[in-house]
Amino acid sequence: MRTLYKTALATVALSLALAGCGKTEAQKEVDKQADAIDKSYEAQADVVEALGTNAPDEEAAKQKADALRDKGEAIKDDLKDQAKHLDDAPKK
């Protein structure tokens, strides 16, 4: 999961670098990456939830799945918020 977040941060950095060349494309790329990260957390949450179905710790699995979904959503929102500020990046 840290790898996904690091990848996302690298994408934001790359997008900031590209902002001078085409901020709209940079923002679109950040949005795509953010959505992909959120979907990956959602998929992981689905797996955790499915594996926990009818298990003794089913409630714990549901809570872990919800936490994964929340984390994915938070990362997505953070990245999209950062993308909104690409216009503020200094241009050469």
The one-digit pLDDT tens for each residue of the chain (92 residues) are 667 666 766 665 666 555 455 557 888 999 999 999 999 999 999 999 999 999 999 999 999 999 999 999 999 999 999 988 876 656 66
Tell me the whole-structure pTM to 2 decimals.
0.69
Q: At what angle do helices 2-52 and 58-84 cross, to 10 degrees?
A: 150
Domains in the chain: how many in total? 1
Q: Please give the helix or strand (H or E) that residue 17 lies within, else none.
A: helix 2-52
Residue 72 exposure: Cα atoms within 13 Å on the Cβ side: 19
Domain limits for position 71: 2-88
Can you tell me whether residue 57 is helix, strand or coil?
A: coil
Contact of 89 with 27, CB cutoff 8 Å: no
